[in-house]
Structure 1
Amino acid sequence: MTAATTPLKLGEAIDARRTPEQLRARRLLVWRQLLTSLWAPLTLVGIVFIPYLFVIENLPASASWAKPAMQFFGAAMFFAWVALLVWRLVSKREQALRKLRHEARELFHEAERIFKRVPDKLPANAAERIAEQALRVEDASLAADVARLDKEVRALDKLHEELLGAWRKQSGWETVSGFTKALAIALLIRTIFIEPYRIPSGSMLPTLEIGDQVFVNKFIYGVRIPFMNVVPFQIVRAPARGDVIVFNNPVETDKDFIKRIVGIAGDRVDVVNEKVYVNGELQDRTLVAKDFIVRNMENGEWTDDQVMYYRENLDSVNHAVLQSPYPRGPRSEGPFFVPEGHVFVMGDNRDNSSDSRVGFIGQGHPAAYVPIGHIKGKAMVVWLSLGYGGLFSGFFDGTGLRLDRFFEPVR
C-alpha cells in the first residue's frame, strides 16, 4: 500500500476494525467515565441551572417551588461530587485505570493531530499499525485489566515514537492557538451572556447580603461594548424600574456598583419622609418589622444593625427596603429629574447607600445618574454565598458558606 492510499483518518481506521459488541462496550465505558467524572455533578447543575434561570426570570411566582427544588438538586450533586472524590481517592485500581485511560486518549489525539498535519510524510502502514495497537489498548481498557492496559499503552507509546517520532512534539502555535480559543470563549461569555459579581457592602441589604455572589444577565439590555460604555442596540428590553443592576460607577469609573433602578429617563423622583414618589405617585410600602436585625461589616468585623424592614411596591416590583430608626440624612430629597439615556438608582438599605441621590459619594454631593452604556447587566440569582453564619463560620470569624442563600432569585 502506498502513502496515497493509506487511510489517514485514524478514527475511521479503528472503527472499521471494531465488532458490534466492541462498539456497544465502548459506548457504555464512555458513558460510565462521563458520569463518574468529577465534572459530571457540576455539569448537571449547570444544565439544570439554565432552565431554572429562565423560569424564575419569566415567572417570578415560580421561585416558591423552583428555588427549593434547585437547592435540593444542588445539594444532591454536591454530595455526589464528594462521594466520587472519596471513591477515586480510596480506590487505587480506579486511579490507575483512569490514569492509563487518560494516557491512551492523549496518545490517540496526538496521532490524529499528526495524521491531519503531515499526512503525506507518514509511513504507508502507519494508520493500520497504530489502529491495531489502539484496539488492543481498548480491549484492555474494556476489561479493566490494569496490568494489561499498562502494557498495551506502553506499546502504543513506543509505536508512536517509531512511526510518528519526528512530529510528536506539539508546536508552539498549537499551544497558543488552544489557549487563545479557550480565552476567546470565556471572554465572549462574560461580554455577551453572563458575568459573576460579588456583593462587597451592605447597601442592598436585605435583598443582597455581603458575600453573596450573583450572576448578571448581560444579554437582556443589549451587548455592551467594554471600555467604550456603549450599547449599540437593545436585545430583549430596556432597563426598567425595579431592576437590580450592576453598573460601572459614572463618577469613579474604576468601580462597579449594584443598585436598584428607581427612575428611568423622563421620570421625576422625590424622596419625602423616606417614601419614594415617582412622577408624583407614591410607591406603596408596608412595614414588616420595626426591630429587624441585619448583619453588616465594619473594619472586617460583623456587626448587628437594628433597622425598620418594609416591603415596597416599586412599579409592581415588590421588594425589601430597610430604613434606619434614626435617619441622619434630610427628610426630603429631590426632586431628581432623570435625563434621557440614564437611570436613577438607589440601594435597598436606604440610609446606608451611596447612590444617585448623593452622587455615589456621600451626603452633600450633587445627584448623579447612570448612563445606559454604563450598565453591565441585570442581577438574576445568587449562585454562591460566603457571608455571615453558615458552614465553617466558626473557623473564619463568623464568615461561612450560606447554603440557604444558594439559588436565591434577586427581586
Structure 2
Amino acid sequence: MDFDFSAILLGLTVVFGVVWALDRLFFYKARMTKAVAAGQEVREPVAVDWARSLFPVMLAVLLLRSFVAEPFRIPSGSMMPTLDVGDFILVNKFTYGLRMPAFNNKLVGLGEPKRGDVVVFRFPGYICTDGGKQVRSGDQSCADPHAPVPSQNWIKRIIGLPGDRVEMHGDQLLINGEPVNADEVGPYVGNPKRDESRLMLEMGATVWNEHLGAVNHLTARMPAYTTPPPIPNQRVPSEVPAGCYLVMGDNRYNSTDSRWWGCMPEENLAGKAFLIWLSLNGSGVAFDRMGRIIH
C-alpha cells in the first residue's frame, strides 16, 4: 500500500483538534450567549460538531496504533511458511522504543532488536549509485536512481545485527563464522488453488526448522525457482554496518530482502510482530492460524 495511513491519521487528528479548539476559544461563548438570549437551543456548525465527535476517537486510535499495537495484513508469500498471505498480524510498537507518529523518529529507546525477531519496517529502497554516491531509489534496476521510494510497510526476519559478519551461499548461512543449522521437516504442503502455494508445490519446496541462535523457526527452500544473491555482494558488505540490520524472508528463494536492497536502517523500524489475530485463506477464515504467537 503506497499511502501512509499513519500520516493521514495524524493529519486528521490535528485538523479536528484545531477546529474544535478554535471554536471553543473564539466562537463558542458568543454562540451560546446569543442562543440563550433568544431562548433557543445552542447549535454547533456541522464542521465543529464533526470535529468534536471525531477528535477523541481519532486521538485514541492514533495513540494506540503509534505506541501500543498496530495491525498489518500480510500481502505476499515472502514469509511463508511462518506467515501466510491473508494473515492479519499485530505489531508491538513499543518493544524497540516509542516513535513519533508518521515521522518515525525515536522519542524513547526501550530495547534493541534481537536476531530472529520478525519485524515490520518502512521499505528503505534499493541501493543505487548516483554521481559516485550511494542513494536509495524505488527503481530496482537503478535506471532511475531518483525514483521515489514507495511508502510501504514490509515484514522480514532479522538475520544480522550491527557488527555481525554474515555470509550466505545458497542455503548455507553463517553468522560470525558459525554455520546456522537447520533440520529438514519435509515437503511443503499447501493448497494448490492458491497462487503462492501452487508455486511452492510446483517448485518442490521443502520446509526446514532453522536454529537461529535461541530462535527456532520454519523456513522454505525451493532452489529450482531462483538464485538469490549471495552475501556479501555489492549491496551487502561482509560486516553489518552500525545502525543497520540484515533481514530476510523465511521463504528464502522467493523474498526480495536485504540480499537485494541492502541493510535495513534502524530508523525504519516500525515494531515487532507477535500475533496472528485473523487469517483469511481465500475460501474463508483459517481458524487454525488465529491466535498463533509469531516466532
TM-score by length of 2: 0.71
Secondary structure at 2:76's aligned position in 1? coil
1:274–1:332 Cα contact (<8 Å) kept:
no
Among 200, 215, 220, which residue is 1:305 paired with?
Answer: 200
- How far the C-alpha of 1:268 sits from its partner, in A, is 1.2
Query: C-alpha distance in 2, partners of 1:232/1:183?
Result: 21
Correspondence 1:337 to 2:236? no
Alignment partner, residue 191 of structure 1: 66
For residue 168 of structure 1, report the CA deviation from its aligned partner: 5.3
Aligned to 1:59: none
User: Retained in 1: the 8 A contact 2:229–2:259?
Assistant: no
Alignment correspondent of 1:377? 271
CA shift, 1:177, in A, is: 2.1
Contact 2:32 2:42 in 1 (8 A): no
CA distance in 1, matches of 2:153, 2:211: 26
Residue 231 (structure 1) aligns with:
106
Cα 1:333–1:406 shift into 2, 3 Å: same
**Corresponding residue number in structure 2 for 1:409:** 293
- Distance change (3 Å), C-alpha of 1:166 and 1:206: same
CA distance in structure 2 between the aligned counterparts of 1:340 and 1:369, rounded to whole angstroms: 10
Shift of 1:314: 0.7
Structure with the bigger percentage of helix: 1
Listed as ranges, the matches of 1:9-408 within 5 Å are: 166-167=40-41, 169-170=43-44, 172=46, 173-235=48-110, 237-251=111-125, 252-289=149-186, 291-295=187-191, 298=195, 303=198, 305-306=200-201, 307-326=205-224, 328-329=226-227, 332-334=230-232, 336-359=238-261, 368-388=262-282, 393=283, 400-408=284-292
Instruction: Pick which of 240-249 and 272-281 moved more.
Output: 272-281
CA shift, 1:310, in A, is 0.5
The normalised TM-score by structure 1 is 0.52
Structure 1: tracts of 5 or more residues without a match: 1-116, 123-163, 360-367, 394-399
Higher RCO structure (Cα 8 Å, ≥6 apart):
2
Secondary structure at the aligned position of 2:238 is classed as strand
Higher strand share: 2
Match of 2:3 in 1: none
Contact 1:294 1:304 in 2 (8 A): no
Maintained 8 Å contact 1:224/1:373: no
* Partner secondary structure for residue 376 of structure 1: strand
Select the structure of larger CA radius of gyration. 1
Give aligned pairs, total.
232
Paired residues of 2:74 and 2:88 also in contact (CA < 8 A) = yes
Structure 2: distance between partners of 1:208 and 1:219: 22
- Unpaired runs of 5+ residues, structure 2, are 1-30, 126-148
Deviation above 6 Å: which 4+ runs of structure 1? none
Distance, in Å, in 2 between the alignment partners of 1:327 and 1:385 is 26
SS of corresponding position for 2:99: coil
